[in-house]
Structure formats: structure tokens, C-alpha cells
Amino acid sequence: MPQYKIKNTNEKLHEIIVKKETQEVRPWVVGCVLRNINFDIKSYNSFIDLQDKLHHNICRKRTLASMGTHDLDKFASDGPITYEAQKPEDIVFRALKQTEEMNAVKLFEIFKTDMKMKKFLPILEGHDRYPVFYDKNRQVLSLPPIINSEATKISLDTRNVFIEVTGTDLYRCKTALAILAGQFSVHCDSDS
């Protein structure tokens, strides 16, 4: 049986500040950091696959919860992360697998023709504001439950992973986080 070690720190380095306006769209957020992870091609692919399976099952196709995973070393993680809701036209970033920066309105137009992504758009459509994660420098980390930023994507070289889970069901958020973090903490150095 794997042995899990959870370290809570008093540091505010990875504090997530949740803004009031998120209550209207996706009110719950939980997160953690996996430090000194050692990915190989098999564990990396398994990490991505597990997220997809959790999104489909426990998270009920991202409606109840969704996960974002980020390379902690690719953004300003020495300050608070904010989880807020902004007007779609004001959320500007380069989404995963996109070639240019764009706002969420334009991104949704592109995703309306994408077979995989178009099914998630109704989760946010109809809301005046969309949820978004920013680092302390206002770099977008993700637009949950739709997509993460290209700037913070994880790779085989990633050593520290920030995981955020948002949703409308706190129990599902906590469950998804516990499964993902628990399964992959075994790939972290034992002193992490």
C-alpha cells in the first residue's frame, strides 16, 4: 500500500483567493501542489488519462467539477493565485493547443466547431461572467471548466504541479482532487 504524506504549510505562497463573483458560476475550488514529481512517458500519459476519466465520470462531464493541472514553475507562484469571474471579452490568453492569444468570446467561437470542446461550452454559456484563475501577475492559468493556458501546460519535464479543481459540487471537487493527487503523489520524491 502506498504511504501518503500531506504537508500543510503556513506559507501563503500557494494561497488561492476566491472572489465573491465566482459564486454565480462555479462556487467551489480546492487545490494542491505535487512537488518533485518524476514523470516518465507512461506516468505522464496516465496522469492525463486519469484526468479525462475523472472528468467523464465523477465530474459528470465537467458539469459538477473539473480539474486544471499546471507547471508550477511556469508562472508567478510566489504570490497568491486568484479565482475570479470576469466578462468573457476581458479574459485574454493563449489556450492549450492554440497558436495565438484571444479572448474567451473568440475562443468559444473556435471551439463551437471542435468535436471535443464544443460539448463543454454550454456549462458557461448564458453566464455574464466566466471563472478564471490568475497568478499574481494577472497571467491566466485556466478558464475552468473549459481549458488551461498554454503558458502553464505540464510536460515530461515538469517537476512541480499545481492542481486546481472547481465546480458546483464540493464533494465531487474534493474527491477528484484526492484521487488525482493520491495516485500521483507516489511519483513524487519521498521527501516532498
Q: Residue 76 corresponds to which amino acid?
A: A
pLDDT above 90 for 77: no
4 assigned to some structural domain: no
Contact 115, 161 (CB under 8 A): no
DSSP class of 134: E
pLDDT above 90 for 102: yes
pLDDT tens digit string along 13-56?
A: 578 999 999 999 999 999 999 999 999 999 999 999 999 999 99
pLDDT above 70 for 2: no
What is the residue whose three cell numbers read 459540487? 169
Per 3-state DSSP, the chain is made up of helix, strand and coil in percentages (nearest 5) of 30, 25, 45
**pLDDT at site 188:** 87
57 assigned to some structural domain: yes
159 assigned to some structural domain: yes
pTM more than 0.95: no
Contact 94, 149 (CB under 8 A): yes
Q: What is the mean pLDDT of the chain?
A: 92
pLDDT tens digit string along 124-174?
A: 999 999 999 999 999 999 999 999 999 999 999 999 999 999 999 999 999
pLDDT mean over 52-77 = 95
Range of the domain at 180: 16-185
112 assigned to some structural domain: yes
Report the number of distinct structural domains present in the chain: 1
According to DSSP, the residues that pair with 95 across neighbouring strands are: 149
191 assigned to some structural domain: no
pLDDT above 50 for 192: no
Q: Give alpha helix (H) positions in the chain.
A: 41-56, 104-111, 170-185
28 assigned to some structural domain: yes
Q: Residue 64 corresponds to which amino acid?
A: L
Indicate the SS3 state at residue 122: helix
**pLDDT at site 9:** 57
**Residue, of 113 and 78, whose pLDDT is higher:** 113
d(CA 130, CA 128): 7
65 assigned to some structural domain: yes
Please report, for the domain that includes residue 99, its CATH number.
3.50.40.10
**pLDDT at site 3:** 54
pLDDT above 80 for 10: no
144 assigned to some structural domain: yes
Sheet with strand 65-71: strands edge to edge:
28-34, 161-167, 65-71
**pLDDT at site 90:** 98
Strands 140-143 and 147-148: antiparallel
Banded pLDDT at 190 (limits 50, 70, 90): low
